[in-house]
A = this chain, B = another copy of it.
Amino acid sequence: MANTDVWLESLITKTPQEGRALAILMARKTIAAIQTDPEKRKQLRAAYAEDTVQLISSAQVVAIEFQTIAQANNFWK
């Protein structure tokens, strides 16, 4: 079962940029946890990638997730 797969073993990443990628993954995994049908997610994604309101909202989710990841990594200092 996909939902029980381990996909988040740690918040630690080697670089800030890998932290960005993890933030995007975390946001996507939340959406996958609510909308569990992969076919529907595919359709929905096509729609929101062309809607700036939704792109900006998505960027906000990623910014919040990244804040957590950056703190976990002590800002890669």
Contact = CB atoms under 8 A, between A and B. Distances in A.
Interface of A: 6-12, 15-17, 20, 24, 26-27, 29-31, 33-35, 40, 44-45, 47-68, 70-72, 75-77
A30 B17 contact: no
- For chain A, what secondary structure do more than half of its interface residues adopt (helix, strand, loop), or is it mixed? helix
Contact of A61 (B45, B60, B65): B60
Contacts of A30: 20, 24, 58-59, 62-63
A16 B20 contact: no
Q: Which of A10, A35, A58, A59 has the most CB of B within 10 A?
A: A59
Given A8-B17, A63-B27, A71-B75, A47 B54 contact: no
